[in-house]
Structure 1
């Protein structure tokens, strides 16, 4: 398989998996855009190994074994590994967040309830901040040493904000899978129990719970925005676009009157255009 064919398949995975990210990162130059699609394909394939498999633990182990083979330089013909090999050769990639994302997948295998907001945000780091850290060498190649810590923290904040947004959008879907990412301490702070959440009622208390997490996410989006000035002009707008489009999901849920049990909040094409016009 040629490298270009491998990238084409990765692009299809990204287009099918997240039109929001696909549209945001389409603003990149072709080489950087292709590298982003390869990283996305890695993340999506790893996620599917857990969520779409009848034997998730074995599927996760098999995927990580294939990644180990990749890291040793073994020849592989699957599109993901062909494309990722090219990325590894062109950028100074950091392997740690790739393994940390797998740690988040392991949490999903063995954990379905979260006691505190801190614990939920730790999951958000594994599940989403890691993706931002994977992309940093592509979006900000060879940054100055003084910028590295701030860039890293911005990527972490943005990832947690996005994962909190996912949690708020998917409350109903997660209940269907017997998963509750809304932390127990936030529920209790507003007089709610797990049973109340399972009742799937948009009560005043639920709105307070939802807004507590939403406002935390918005604070993290704002914190991440402060680091956007550190990105080169070529990658700054795609990162800003991804953040804007994702944050827009929160307002979409509000427009749905907080019904995240029977409706899926999304940013319409028209709304996406308006948000992107702000850039």
Structure 2
């Protein structure tokens, strides 16, 4: 098999394993765009895994950053499937290099134990680790319309990352991370100690819903320009957004238990959502 095709297959396995939601939505794309999305996802996953699972994540992230800069100059490990696939993507699409650099910068925020005081702090983090993904994908999904779609693409990243934060509170606490802004803890008189004790009370649910309202507002803003995407990518993008938004409903349905349970949208619900998109 062609080395480039093998590299794309490797990237597909990664997204299929780690994000069934994105895989289901973007499988609807035409072949070339679909493969390119797999490659971008593999890049993002690599950075994420370094930070979450690396033995010495600071050094590993710095090394990866150097490898990316070398890649941009045309030098990369030609035995590494992700770089092979990404090189092909960069040849065929007008990729936003700044978004890739910002993604690495965002992952570094998790290594520096950043304190989030306000929602603006959380949105800045969300831009770097999530909105950047949308900016990476825009040249693939809507070539020539990147400028028109940029703002709402950033908003969709905000919405999805806030959804991640609201779903993964327990998991993040185990990693020593807290993305709930301190001013919300003060507003609802809920302490970090209560959070560490997994106290699912009225104050906690008020904080959760406060952040969920912000997320849902950004989903609504992102949907404003969905009609500007080409027909071939409109359904996948809208599908990914709706599937992610549905996670919030799953958490509510399970009484806000984000401490000992990870919430997923069932396969049946996913198929129902995808089938209703026009």
Give the TM bin, normalised by the shorter chain: over 0.9
Residue 77 of structure 2 corresponds to residue 76 of structure 1: yes
CA contact (8 A) 2:141 2:233 kept: yes
CA contact (8 A) 1:112 1:178 kept: no
Aligned counterpart, 1:190: 188
Q: Is the 2:126–2:161 Cα contact (8 Å) retained in structure 1? A: yes
1:262 equivalent in structure 2: 260
After superposition, the C-alpha distances for 1:110-149 in whole angstroms (9 at most, x for unaligned) are 0243111110110000010000000000001122xxxx44
**Which position in structure 2 is the counterpart of 1:106?**
108
How far off its partner does 1:215 sit?
Answer: 0.8
Q: Residues 227 and 67 from structure 1, CA distance in 2 versus in 1: closer, same or farther, beyond 3 angstroms?
A: same
Please report how far the alpha carbon of residue 75 of structure 1 lies from its aligned counterpart in structure 2 after TM superposition: 4.7
What secondary structure, in the 3-state scheme, does the structure 2 residue paired with 1:105 have?
A: helix
Q: How does 1:165-244 map to 2 (within 5 A)?
A: 165-244=163-242
Contact 2:29 2:233 in 1 (8 A): yes
Distance 2:68 2:172 in 1: 29
Shift of 1:150: 3.7
Cα shift readout 1:63-116 (whole Å, capped 9, x = no counterpart): 111111110112531101110111011011110000000111110000243111
Aligned residue in 2 for 1:11:
12
Per the normalisation by structure 1, the TM-score is 0.96
Contact 2:67 2:76 in 1 (8 A): no
1:256, 1:263 within 8 Å by CA — same for their partners in 2? Answer: no
Alignment partner of 2:157 out of 149, 154, 159: 159
Q: TM-score, normalised by structure 2?
A: 0.97
Q: Is the Cα–Cα contact under 8 Å of residues 7 and 81 in structure 2 kept in the other structure?
A: yes
Measured in 2, the distance between the counterparts of 1:49 and 1:97 equals: 18
CA RMSD, aligned part only? 1.0
Q: How does 1:38-187 map to 2 (within 5 A)?
A: 38-77=39-78, 78-143=80-145, 148-187=146-185
Q: Deviations over 1:190-235 (max 9, x none)?
A: 1112112112111011110000000110000000000101100000
| Structure 2: gaps (5+ residues) | none
| Residue correspondence of structure 1 range 20-31 to structure 2 within 5 A | 20-31=21-32
Quote the offset at 1:51 in angstroms: 1.1
Any conservation in 1 of the 2:132–2:157 contact (CA below 8 Å)?
Answer: yes
CA distance in 1, matches of 2:198, 2:115: 17
Kindly provide the CA deviation profile for residues 2-51 of structure 1, in whole angstroms up to 9, marking residues without a partner as x. Answer: 10000000000111110100010000000000000000000000111111
Q: Return the alpha-carbon distance in structure 2 between the equivalents of residues 109 and 214 of structure 1.
A: 26
**Aligned with 1:265: secondary structure?**
coil
Structure 1 contact 112–181 (Cα < 8 Å) conserved: no
SS of residue in 2 equivalent to 1:264? coil
Q: Which runs of structure 1 show a deviation greater than 4 angstroms over 4 or more consecutive aligned residues?
A: none
